[in-house]
């Protein structure tokens, strides 16, 4: 199977057709008078932000050649022409052109053109949440039109009039205005309890007595993961800790109790939230006087920090690295040794769109995996061209989208995984892990889903600790 002939098993429109029904659950009722409200909000966004020139360029240039359709995993599965990226974009561009440009004003004067109706607006509201904003289509667009950015702009304006997913909205409210200050509502004391639990687990596994550094000032690294990892992904966190310990950096990192959540849903739908959440992360780094933000295995958290700390950070701006970059750098220094005889299963790697599409984190995980996994196989396509898992753009956090994520958005990924014949799917992203685990269950794929550091934890050689072989034998006994 190559990129040229990947057959999505539902290509001819047998899947869940869009039904002109909002996929997401709103917090309140659908607002009345929404055409006027939407246009008002759009006008305010245009006045205060820099979207005009982008929209001007796209309005002037978009040729609607539908090349984007050749790579959209949603359209390939649904077969619904309304899912074609340039169709969705065209609605946004038409609204902009008609109501906010001279050309639109002129065409209106001469009695022609486009009028925004409630039906069109409702269709757009539906379509922007049927898109994972993964930007795979941009890679095929001859003009490089960033449909993910347009989807996001549409979502942003909708969010300003009360049309946004309740699940994301409630999480962000807790993160920015709630008591716990994080999306999973984990009080700092509970997070510390989790760290103690992880330390006990690590002691049992490795035979090492460790205490996680909490609120330590003046450390090189301050660690932020998707906060849900504290509840759902203990092995990833233990893998992270094992790497830091093995690298001799145990006294160089810390976790802050003021803010330990890397999640930034603002990336998916709101400039306001994005900006504020980035600055909350930086406030904690300032408080602890840490030099570098070390972001755990999470695609969108990594991108939100890496791409937007320089944008919104002001004087607090500081370097941001993804944990896989950290691990590879320590490996290259010879500080991390991985036993090449432990992982015998066939392993594949799913690239989270948020870190791979720009080419930022593509080679690093492969270099790590190839150093200790004998049977590594790529998905097709992979790297910058990889398909989204179907949970991207915040959809995976909205339970009401489950059927859509399985039947439509996740179908390409299921086919890709099946074609590799892998027994282990590695994906270093909290959102992708949840979605891919659900896909594996839904399509009954014979494989296990885990993070890269979960796998590293199995194979890491730490002097003075139990060897990977010993650990494997113990684990096998429990099986």
Binding positions for other proteins, rule: CB under 8 A: 2-4, 6, 40-41, 44-45, 47-54, 56-58, 60-67, 69-71, 75, 81, 84, 86-87, 90, 103, 138, 140, 142-146, 149, 160, 169, 172-173, 176-177, 266, 270-276, 307-308, 310-312, 314, 358-359, 381, 385
* CA geometry: angle 159, 267, 131, nearest 5 deg: 70
Whole-number Å distance between alpha carbons of 257 and 214 = 7
Kindly state the DSSP code that residue 407 receives in the 8-state scheme.
I
Residue 84 C-beta: closest distance to other proteins, Å: 6
Tell me whether residue 93 or residue 237 sits nearer to other proteins (CB atom).
93
Tell me whether residue 97 or residue 292 sits nearer to other proteins (CB atom).
97
What SS3 string covers 188-234? HHHHHHHHHHHHHHHHHHHCCCCCCCECCCCCCEEEEECCCHHHHCH
C-alpha dihedral over 39, 45, 50, 51, to 10 degrees? Answer: -30
Tell me whether residue 56 or residue 448 sits nearer to other proteins (CB atom).
56
73's tokens = 């995993």
Residue 68 C-beta: closest distance to other proteins, Å: 9
Residue 328 C-beta: closest distance to other proteins, Å: 20
Residue 64 C-beta: closest distance to other proteins, Å: 4
Q: Which residues contact 134 (CB under 8 A, 6 or more apart)?
A: 73, 148, 353, 357, 387, 388, 392, 393
Tell me whether residue 308 or residue 376 sits nearer to other proteins (CB atom).
308
Residue 410 C-beta: closest distance to other proteins, Å: 20
Residue 103 C-beta: closest distance to other proteins, Å: 7
Whole-number Å distance between alpha carbons of 302 and 319 = 12
Q: Are 201 and 58 in contact (CB under 8 A)?
A: no
User: Percent helix, strand and coil across the chain, each rounded to 5?
Assistant: 55, 5, 40
Tell me whether residue 127 or residue 347 sits nearer to other proteins (CB atom).
127
Tell me whether residue 8 or residue 343 sits nearer to other proteins (CB atom).
8
Q: Sheet holding 376-377: strands in order across?
A: 376-377, 347-349, 424-426, 448-450
199's tokens = 């330390």
Whole-number Å distance between alpha carbons of 28 and 21 = 16
Tell me whether residue 111 or residue 463 sits nearer to other proteins (CB atom).
111
Whole-number Å distance between alpha carbons of 153 and 132 = 13
Q: Are 277 and 205 in contact (CB under 8 A)?
A: no
Residue 158 C-beta: closest distance to other proteins, Å: 13
Q: Which residues pair with 145 in a beta bridge?
A: none
Tell me whether residue 23 or residue 309 sits nearer to other proteins (CB atom).
309
Instruction: Say if strands 221-224 and 292-295 run parallel, antiparallel, or are unpaired.
Output: parallel
C-alpha dihedral sign at 465, 467, 472, 478: negative
Tell me whether residue 223 or residue 269 sits nearer to other proteins (CB atom).
269
Residue 434 C-beta: closest distance to other proteins, Å: 23
Residue 314 C-beta: closest distance to other proteins, Å: 7
């Amino acid at each position: 199977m190559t990129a040229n002939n990947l057959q999505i098993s539902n290509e001819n429109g047998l899947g869940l057709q869009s039904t002109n029904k909002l996929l997401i659950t709103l917090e309140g009722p659908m607002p009345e008078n929404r055409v006027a409200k939407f246009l008002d909000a759009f006008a305010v966004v245009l006045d205060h932000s820099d979207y005009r020139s982008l929209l001007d360029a796209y309005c002037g240039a978009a040729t609607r050649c539908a090349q984007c359709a050749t790579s959209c995993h949603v359209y390939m599965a649904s077969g619904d022409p309304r899912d074609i990226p340039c169709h969705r974009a065209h609605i946004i561009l038409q609204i902009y052109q008609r109501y906010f440009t001279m050309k639109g004003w002129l065409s209106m004067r001469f009695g022609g053109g486009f009028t925004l109706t409630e039906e069109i607006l409702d269709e757009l509201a539906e379509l922007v949440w049927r898109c994972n904003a993964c930007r795979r289509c941009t890679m095929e667009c001859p003009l490089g039109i960033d449909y993910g950015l347009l989807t996001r702009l549409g979502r942003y304006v909708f969010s300003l009039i009360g049309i946004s997913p309740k699940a994301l909205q409630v999480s962000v409210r807790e993160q920015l205005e709630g008591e716990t200050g994080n999306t999973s509502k984990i009080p700092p004391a509970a997070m510390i309890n989790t760290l103690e639990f992880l330390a006990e687990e690590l002691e049992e596994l490795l035979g090492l007595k460790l205490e996680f550094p909490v609120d330590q000032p003046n450390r090189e690294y301050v660690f932020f993961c998707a906060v849900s990892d504290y509840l759902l992904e203990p092995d990833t966190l233990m893998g992270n800790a094992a790497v830091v310990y093995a690298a001799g950096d145990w006294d160089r990192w810390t976790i802050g109790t003021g803010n330990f959540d890397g999640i930034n849903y603002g990336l998916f739908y709101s400039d306001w939230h994005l900006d504020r959440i980035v600055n909350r992360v930086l406030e904690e780094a300032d408080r602890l006087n840490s030099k570098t933000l070390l972001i755990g295995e999470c695609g969108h958290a990594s991108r939100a920090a890496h791409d937007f700390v320089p944008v919104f950070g002001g004087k607090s701006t500081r370097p941001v690295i993804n944990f896989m970059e950290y691990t590879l750098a320590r490996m290259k220094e010879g500080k991390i040794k991985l036993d090449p005889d432990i992982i015998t299963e066939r392993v594949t790697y799913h690239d989270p769109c948020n870190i791979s599409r720009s080419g930022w984190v593509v080679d690093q995980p492969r270099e790590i995996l190839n150093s200790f996994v004998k049977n590594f196989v790529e998905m097709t396509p992979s790297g910058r061209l990889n398909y989204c898992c179907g949970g991207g753009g915040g959809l995976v956090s909205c339970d009401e989208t489950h059927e859509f994520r399985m039947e439509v958005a996740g179908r390409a990924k299921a086919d890709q995984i099946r074609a590799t014949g892998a027994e282990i799917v590695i994906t270093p992203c909290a959102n992708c892990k949840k979605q891919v685990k659900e896909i594996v269950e839904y399509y009954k794929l014979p494989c296990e889903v885990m993070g890269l550091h979960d796998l590293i934890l199995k194979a890491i050689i730490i002097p003075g600790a139990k060897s990977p072989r010993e650990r494997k034998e113990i684990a096998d006994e429990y099986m």
